[in-house]
Amino acid sequence: MPLLAFETSCDETSAAVIHHGRVLSNVVSSQIAMHAEYGGVVPELAAREHLRNLLPVSERAMAAAEVAPAEIDGFAATQGPGLPSALMVGFHAARAAAFALDRPFVGIHHHEAHLYSPWITGRPLTANFSEFQPNVSLIVSGGHTLLVHVQAELKHRLLGSTLDDAAGECFDKVGKLLGLPYPAGPHIDHLAEKGNPRAFDFPRPMIADSSHDFSFSGLKTSVRYFLRDHPELAEDRERLRDLCASVQAAIVETLVAKTIRAAQVMKVRCITASGGVTCNRALRGGLADACAREELTLRLAEPSLCTDNAAMIGVLAERVLAQRTHLASQYADVLPDWSLGRECSLAR
Protein backbone atom coordinates (compact mmCIF):
# COMPACT_ATOMS: atom_id res chain seq x y z
CA MET A 1 0.00 0.00 0.00
CA PRO A 2 1.24 3.50 -0.84
CA LEU A 3 2.78 6.25 1.27
CA LEU A 4 2.06 10.00 1.01
CA ALA A 5 4.97 12.35 1.72
CA PHE A 6 5.12 16.14 2.14
CA GLU A 7 8.05 18.57 1.81
CA THR A 8 7.54 22.16 3.01
CA SER A 9 10.90 23.09 4.58
CA CYS A 10 11.61 26.16 2.43
CA ASP A 11 10.00 27.57 -0.72
CA GLU A 12 8.68 24.46 -2.47
CA THR A 13 5.36 22.86 -1.55
CA SER A 14 5.58 19.24 -2.61
CA ALA A 15 3.59 16.01 -2.21
CA ALA A 16 4.54 12.58 -3.54
CA VAL A 17 3.05 9.10 -3.52
CA ILE A 18 5.57 6.26 -3.20
CA HIS A 19 4.90 2.55 -3.47
CA HIS A 20 7.61 -0.10 -3.06
CA GLY A 21 10.30 2.42 -4.01
CA ARG A 22 8.42 3.60 -7.08
CA VAL A 23 7.59 7.28 -7.36
CA LEU A 24 3.94 7.12 -8.45
CA SER A 25 3.72 10.91 -8.42
CA ASN A 26 5.82 13.89 -7.33
CA VAL A 27 4.09 17.27 -7.54
CA VAL A 28 6.17 20.37 -6.77
CA SER A 29 4.73 23.87 -6.54
CA SER A 30 7.55 26.40 -6.44
CA GLN A 31 7.22 29.79 -4.76
CA ILE A 32 10.39 31.14 -6.36
CA ALA A 33 8.60 33.77 -8.47
CA MET A 34 6.94 35.22 -5.37
CA HIS A 35 10.14 35.37 -3.26
CA ALA A 36 12.22 36.70 -6.19
CA GLU A 37 10.46 40.06 -5.74
CA TYR A 38 12.07 40.31 -2.30
CA GLY A 39 15.49 38.98 -3.33
CA GLY A 40 15.20 35.93 -1.06
CA VAL A 41 12.78 33.68 0.80
CA VAL A 42 10.41 35.52 3.18
CA PRO A 43 9.53 32.92 5.88
CA GLU A 44 6.06 34.24 6.74
CA LEU A 45 5.02 34.36 3.07
CA ALA A 46 6.46 30.87 2.53
CA ALA A 47 4.34 29.43 5.36
CA ARG A 48 1.19 31.09 4.05
CA GLU A 49 1.83 29.78 0.55
CA HIS A 50 2.37 26.25 1.93
CA LEU A 51 -0.98 26.49 3.76
CA ARG A 52 -2.66 27.58 0.55
CA ASN A 53 -0.96 25.00 -1.66
CA LEU A 54 -0.62 21.84 0.39
CA LEU A 55 -4.13 20.46 -0.15
CA PRO A 56 -4.32 21.12 -3.92
CA VAL A 57 -0.78 19.76 -4.37
CA SER A 58 -1.69 16.62 -2.35
CA GLU A 59 -4.88 16.13 -4.36
CA ARG A 60 -2.91 16.39 -7.59
CA ALA A 61 -0.31 13.91 -6.29
CA MET A 62 -2.97 11.36 -5.32
CA ALA A 63 -4.88 11.85 -8.60
CA ALA A 64 -1.70 11.38 -10.65
CA ALA A 65 -0.88 8.23 -8.67
CA GLU A 66 -4.51 7.03 -9.01
CA VAL A 67 -4.65 6.50 -5.26
CA ALA A 68 -7.58 7.49 -2.99
CA PRO A 69 -6.91 9.01 0.46
CA ALA A 70 -8.28 5.89 2.19
CA GLU A 71 -5.69 3.80 0.35
CA ILE A 72 -2.74 5.70 1.84
CA ASP A 73 -0.98 3.33 4.17
CA GLY A 74 1.55 5.66 5.79
CA PHE A 75 2.46 9.35 5.99
CA ALA A 76 5.78 11.18 6.04
CA ALA A 77 6.97 14.77 6.10
CA THR A 78 10.16 16.76 6.44
CA GLN A 79 10.75 17.34 10.18
CA GLY A 80 13.83 19.57 9.80
CA PRO A 81 16.00 21.44 9.25
CA GLY A 82 14.23 24.38 7.62
CA LEU A 83 12.09 27.45 8.25
CA PRO A 84 10.05 26.74 11.41
CA SER A 85 6.70 28.06 10.20
CA ALA A 86 7.14 26.44 6.78
CA LEU A 87 8.10 23.04 8.23
CA MET A 88 5.08 23.11 10.54
CA VAL A 89 2.61 23.15 7.66
CA GLY A 90 3.64 19.84 6.06
CA PHE A 91 4.72 18.12 9.26
CA HIS A 92 1.55 18.73 11.25
CA ALA A 93 -0.74 18.09 8.28
CA ALA A 94 0.88 14.67 7.73
CA ARG A 95 0.88 13.89 11.44
CA ALA A 96 -2.80 14.83 11.80
CA ALA A 97 -3.80 12.77 8.74
CA ALA A 98 -1.90 9.77 10.09
CA PHE A 99 -3.61 10.16 13.46
CA ALA A 100 -7.08 10.50 11.95
CA LEU A 101 -6.66 7.50 9.65
CA ASP A 102 -4.71 5.46 12.22
CA ARG A 103 -1.69 5.07 9.95
CA PRO A 104 2.03 5.23 10.79
CA PHE A 105 3.85 8.55 10.44
CA VAL A 106 7.54 9.29 10.13
CA GLY A 107 9.40 12.63 10.24
CA ILE A 108 12.37 12.79 7.88
CA HIS A 109 15.64 14.70 8.06
CA HIS A 110 15.76 16.89 4.93
CA HIS A 111 19.48 16.32 4.26
CA GLU A 112 19.22 12.57 4.75
CA ALA A 113 16.52 12.61 2.06
CA HIS A 114 18.87 14.52 -0.30
CA LEU A 115 21.65 12.09 0.67
CA TYR A 116 19.78 9.03 -0.65
CA SER A 117 18.13 10.81 -3.61
CA PRO A 118 20.88 9.81 -6.13
CA TRP A 119 19.63 6.22 -5.78
CA ILE A 120 16.26 7.19 -7.29
CA THR A 121 16.57 6.76 -11.06
CA GLY A 122 14.86 5.50 -14.22
CA ARG A 123 11.43 5.96 -15.80
CA PRO A 124 9.30 5.73 -13.77
CA LEU A 125 11.60 7.05 -11.04
CA THR A 126 12.38 4.14 -8.72
CA ALA A 127 14.62 3.73 -5.69
CA ASN A 128 17.38 1.34 -6.62
CA PHE A 129 19.03 0.44 -3.35
CA SER A 130 20.04 -2.98 -4.69
CA GLU A 131 22.81 -1.06 -6.52
CA PHE A 132 23.97 0.65 -3.32
CA GLN A 133 27.72 1.02 -2.77
CA PRO A 134 29.50 2.71 0.16
CA ASN A 135 30.12 6.29 -0.98
CA VAL A 136 31.11 9.83 -0.23
CA SER A 137 28.17 12.13 -0.83
CA LEU A 138 28.21 15.85 -1.64
CA ILE A 139 25.04 17.72 -0.67
CA VAL A 140 24.99 21.23 -2.12
CA SER A 141 22.00 23.51 -1.69
CA GLY A 142 21.19 27.14 -1.01
CA GLY A 143 21.66 26.67 2.72
CA HIS A 144 24.13 23.80 3.05
CA THR A 145 27.33 22.32 1.68
CA LEU A 146 27.98 18.93 3.25
CA LEU A 147 30.32 16.00 2.68
CA VAL A 148 29.00 12.74 4.13
CA HIS A 149 30.49 9.26 4.35
CA VAL A 150 27.72 6.74 3.65
CA GLN A 151 29.04 3.42 4.95
CA ALA A 152 25.87 1.42 4.31
CA GLU A 153 22.25 2.06 3.45
CA LEU A 154 20.81 4.27 6.24
CA LYS A 155 24.21 4.41 7.96
CA HIS A 156 26.20 7.59 7.44
CA ARG A 157 28.45 10.11 9.15
CA LEU A 158 29.08 13.79 8.45
CA LEU A 159 32.67 14.49 7.32
CA GLY A 160 32.56 18.23 6.84
CA SER A 161 30.42 21.24 6.05
CA THR A 162 30.70 24.89 5.19
CA LEU A 163 32.13 27.20 7.84
CA ASP A 164 30.22 30.19 6.42
CA ASP A 165 28.30 30.55 3.13
CA ALA A 166 26.98 27.49 1.31
CA ALA A 167 27.89 26.98 -2.36
CA GLY A 168 24.35 27.89 -3.48
CA GLU A 169 24.41 30.97 -1.27
CA CYS A 170 27.68 31.98 -2.92
CA PHE A 171 26.08 31.66 -6.38
CA ASP A 172 23.08 33.68 -5.17
CA LYS A 173 25.10 36.43 -3.45
CA VAL A 174 27.50 36.84 -6.40
CA GLY A 175 24.45 36.99 -8.65
CA LYS A 176 22.96 39.74 -6.50
CA LEU A 177 26.18 41.75 -6.88
CA LEU A 178 25.79 41.33 -10.64
CA GLY A 179 22.12 42.38 -10.54
CA LEU A 180 20.81 38.93 -11.50
CA PRO A 181 17.39 37.74 -10.26
CA TYR A 182 17.05 35.43 -7.22
CA PRO A 183 18.00 32.61 -7.12
CA ALA A 184 21.00 33.47 -9.28
CA GLY A 185 22.53 29.96 -9.55
CA PRO A 186 20.68 28.96 -12.74
CA HIS A 187 21.37 32.40 -14.33
CA ILE A 188 25.10 32.15 -13.62
CA ASP A 189 25.07 28.59 -15.01
CA HIS A 190 23.42 29.93 -18.18
CA LEU A 191 25.71 32.98 -18.58
CA ALA A 192 28.83 30.91 -17.82
CA GLU A 193 28.07 28.56 -20.72
CA LYS A 194 29.66 30.90 -23.28
CA GLY A 195 32.21 32.47 -20.92
CA ASN A 196 35.89 31.77 -20.38
CA PRO A 197 36.44 30.10 -16.98
CA ARG A 198 40.11 31.13 -17.02
CA ALA A 199 39.44 34.84 -17.75
CA PHE A 200 39.69 35.91 -14.09
CA ASP A 201 41.44 34.21 -11.23
CA PHE A 202 39.29 33.87 -8.08
CA PRO A 203 40.33 32.00 -4.91
CA ARG A 204 39.54 28.30 -4.45
CA PRO A 205 38.83 28.49 -0.70
CA MET A 206 40.23 25.69 1.49
CA ILE A 207 40.89 23.58 -1.61
CA ALA A 208 44.18 22.26 -0.18
CA ASP A 209 42.99 22.14 3.43
CA SER A 210 43.21 18.70 5.01
CA SER A 211 39.76 19.03 6.64
CA HIS A 212 36.56 18.20 4.77
CA ASP A 213 35.12 21.65 5.49
CA PHE A 214 34.33 24.43 3.00
CA SER A 215 34.31 28.22 3.10
CA PHE A 216 32.81 30.36 0.34
CA SER A 217 32.40 33.80 1.90
CA GLY A 218 35.95 34.88 0.92
CA LEU A 219 35.20 34.09 -2.71
CA LYS A 220 32.07 36.25 -2.60
CA THR A 221 34.07 39.08 -1.01
CA SER A 222 36.78 38.89 -3.65
CA VAL A 223 34.10 39.20 -6.35
CA ARG A 224 32.72 42.25 -4.52
CA TYR A 225 36.17 43.95 -4.52
CA PHE A 226 36.75 42.92 -8.12
CA LEU A 227 33.48 44.59 -9.17
CA ARG A 228 34.33 47.69 -7.13
CA ASP A 229 37.59 47.97 -9.07
CA HIS A 230 35.99 47.14 -12.43
CA PRO A 231 32.50 48.75 -12.34
CA GLU A 232 32.32 48.83 -16.14
CA LEU A 233 32.25 45.02 -16.21
CA ALA A 234 28.58 44.59 -15.25
CA GLU A 235 27.60 46.50 -18.42
CA ASP A 236 29.75 44.41 -20.77
CA ARG A 237 27.77 41.26 -21.64
CA GLU A 238 30.79 39.33 -22.89
CA ARG A 239 32.97 40.06 -19.88
CA LEU A 240 29.99 39.33 -17.62
CA ARG A 241 29.88 35.85 -19.15
CA ASP A 242 33.63 35.48 -18.45
CA LEU A 243 33.12 36.63 -14.87
CA CYS A 244 30.26 34.14 -14.32
CA ALA A 245 32.33 31.33 -15.83
CA SER A 246 35.34 32.24 -13.67
CA VAL A 247 33.34 32.38 -10.41
CA GLN A 248 31.54 29.17 -11.30
CA ALA A 249 34.89 27.46 -12.01
CA ALA A 250 36.21 28.51 -8.59
CA ILE A 251 33.16 27.02 -6.84
CA VAL A 252 33.03 23.86 -8.96
CA GLU A 253 36.76 23.11 -8.78
CA THR A 254 36.67 23.44 -4.99
CA LEU A 255 33.63 21.16 -4.65
CA VAL A 256 35.04 18.55 -7.03
CA ALA A 257 38.57 18.48 -5.55
CA LYS A 258 37.34 18.17 -1.97
CA THR A 259 34.79 15.49 -2.83
CA ILE A 260 37.35 13.37 -4.69
CA ARG A 261 39.84 13.78 -1.86
CA ALA A 262 37.22 12.70 0.73
CA ALA A 263 36.48 9.57 -1.33
CA GLN A 264 40.19 8.76 -1.41
CA VAL A 265 40.60 9.35 2.34
CA MET A 266 37.54 7.22 3.16
CA LYS A 267 38.65 4.58 0.61
CA VAL A 268 35.30 4.37 -1.20
CA ARG A 269 34.86 3.79 -4.94
CA CYS A 270 31.61 5.73 -5.36
CA ILE A 271 30.62 9.39 -5.22
CA THR A 272 27.09 10.77 -5.14
CA ALA A 273 25.83 14.35 -5.32
CA SER A 274 22.49 16.01 -4.62
CA GLY A 275 20.82 19.32 -3.71
CA GLY A 276 19.91 22.33 -5.86
CA VAL A 277 23.46 23.21 -6.96
CA THR A 278 23.79 19.69 -8.43
CA CYS A 279 21.64 21.07 -11.28
CA ASN A 280 24.71 23.09 -12.27
CA ARG A 281 26.04 21.73 -15.55
CA ALA A 282 29.68 22.58 -14.87
CA LEU A 283 29.48 20.74 -11.53
CA ARG A 284 27.87 17.70 -13.15
CA GLY A 285 30.53 17.72 -15.88
CA GLY A 286 33.38 18.39 -13.45
CA LEU A 287 32.37 15.50 -11.19
CA ALA A 288 31.92 13.21 -14.21
CA ASP A 289 35.40 14.02 -15.57
CA ALA A 290 37.12 13.65 -12.19
CA CYS A 291 35.35 10.36 -11.41
CA ALA A 292 36.24 8.96 -14.84
CA ARG A 293 39.90 9.94 -14.28
CA GLU A 294 39.97 8.36 -10.80
CA GLU A 295 37.90 5.34 -11.91
CA LEU A 296 35.16 6.09 -9.39
CA THR A 297 31.46 5.39 -9.89
CA LEU A 298 29.39 8.58 -9.97
CA ARG A 299 25.70 8.86 -9.15
CA LEU A 300 24.18 12.30 -9.56
CA ALA A 301 20.64 13.02 -8.38
CA GLU A 302 18.28 13.36 -11.35
CA PRO A 303 17.89 17.08 -12.16
CA SER A 304 14.18 16.90 -11.23
CA LEU A 305 15.14 15.57 -7.78
CA CYS A 306 18.05 17.98 -7.08
CA THR A 307 15.86 20.83 -5.87
CA ASP A 308 13.45 20.23 -2.99
CA ASN A 309 10.80 17.58 -3.59
CA ALA A 310 8.63 15.14 -1.64
CA ALA A 311 9.69 12.07 -3.64
CA MET A 312 13.04 11.91 -1.83
CA ILE A 313 11.23 12.32 1.52
CA GLY A 314 8.83 9.50 0.69
CA VAL A 315 11.48 7.10 -0.62
CA LEU A 316 13.54 7.41 2.57
CA ALA A 317 10.39 7.27 4.75
CA GLU A 318 9.37 3.99 3.13
CA ARG A 319 12.76 2.47 4.02
CA VAL A 320 12.47 3.78 7.57
CA LEU A 321 8.88 2.57 7.94
CA ALA A 322 9.91 -0.87 6.71
CA GLN A 323 12.22 -1.07 9.72
CA ARG A 324 9.39 0.20 11.96
CA THR A 325 11.93 1.58 14.42
CA HIS A 326 11.66 5.34 13.99
CA LEU A 327 7.99 6.21 13.96
CA ALA A 328 7.32 9.75 15.17
CA SER A 329 5.22 10.02 18.30
CA GLN A 330 1.86 11.72 18.32
CA TYR A 331 3.53 14.61 20.15
CA ALA A 332 6.56 15.05 17.88
CA ASP A 333 7.31 18.53 16.60
CA VAL A 334 9.41 20.10 13.87
CA LEU A 335 13.18 20.42 14.40
CA PRO A 336 14.17 23.62 12.50
CA ASP A 337 17.84 23.41 13.58
CA TRP A 338 18.22 19.66 13.22
CA SER A 339 21.79 19.34 11.98
CA LEU A 340 23.00 16.20 10.25
CA GLY A 341 25.46 15.83 13.09
CA ARG A 342 28.36 13.47 13.17
CA GLU A 343 25.89 10.60 13.68
CA CYS A 344 23.12 9.30 11.46
CA SER A 345 19.64 10.23 12.80
CA LEU A 346 18.35 6.86 11.66
CA ALA A 347 20.65 5.12 14.13
CA ARG A 348 19.23 7.01 17.13
Among 112, 169, 189, 308, contact with Zn ion (rule: CB under 5 A) = 308
Determine, following the binding rule CB under 6 A, whether residue 171 of this chain makes contact with ligand KG4: yes
Q: CB under 5 to 8 A by kind: which of ligand KG4, Zn ion, none does 65 bind?
A: none
Nearest approach in angstroms of CB 184 to ligand KG4 is: 6
Q: CB under 5 to 8 A by kind: which of ligand KG4, Zn ion, none does 143 bind?
A: ligand KG4
Nearest approach in angstroms of CB 111 to ligand KG4 is: 9
All residues at 6 or more sequence positions from 334 whose CB lies less than 8 Å from its CB, including other chains: 79, 80, 82, 84, 87, 88, 91, 92, 107
For residue 234, with 0-12 CB atoms within 10 Å meaning exposed, 13-18 middle and 19 or more buried, which class applies? middle
Using the 8-state DSSP alphabet, how is residue 276 labeled? G
Please, which of residues 228-267 interact with ligand KG4 by CB under 6 A?
Answer: none
Alpha carbons 111 and 109: distance in angstroms, whole number: 6
Determine, following the binding rule CB under 6 A, whether residue 142 of this chain makes contact with ligand KG4: yes
Alpha carbons 18 and 16: distance in angstroms, whole number: 6
Cβ proximity to ligand KG4, 308 vs 318, nearer residue: 308
Determine, following the binding rule CB under 6 A, whether residue 168 of this chain makes contact with ligand KG4: yes
For residue 66, what are the β-bridge partners? none
**Secondary structure percentages of the chain, helix, strand, coil, to 5:** 50, 20, 30
Determine, following the binding rule CB under 5 A, whether residue 141 of this chain makes contact with Zn ion: yes
**DSSP-assigned letters across all residues of 63-116:** HHHT--GGG--EEEEEEESS-HHHHHHHHHHHHHHHHHHT--EEEEEHHHHHHH
Please, which of residues 203-222 interact with ligand KG4 by CB under 6 A?
Answer: none
The helix/strand/coil state of 181 is coil
Q: CB under 5 to 8 A by kind: which of Zn ion, ligand KG4, none does 94 bind?
A: none
Stretch that binds Zn ion, among 53-61, 140-148, 210-218, 294-302 (CB under 5 A): 140-148
Nearest approach in angstroms of CB 266 to ligand KG4 is: 24
Amino acid at 207: I
Please, which of residues 279-298 interact with ligand KG4 by CB under 6 A?
Answer: 279-280
Cβ proximity to Zn ion, 165 vs 308, nearer residue: 308
Q: Which residues bind ligand KG4 (CB under 6 A)?
A: 10, 141-143, 168, 171-172, 183-186, 189, 275-277, 279-280, 307-308
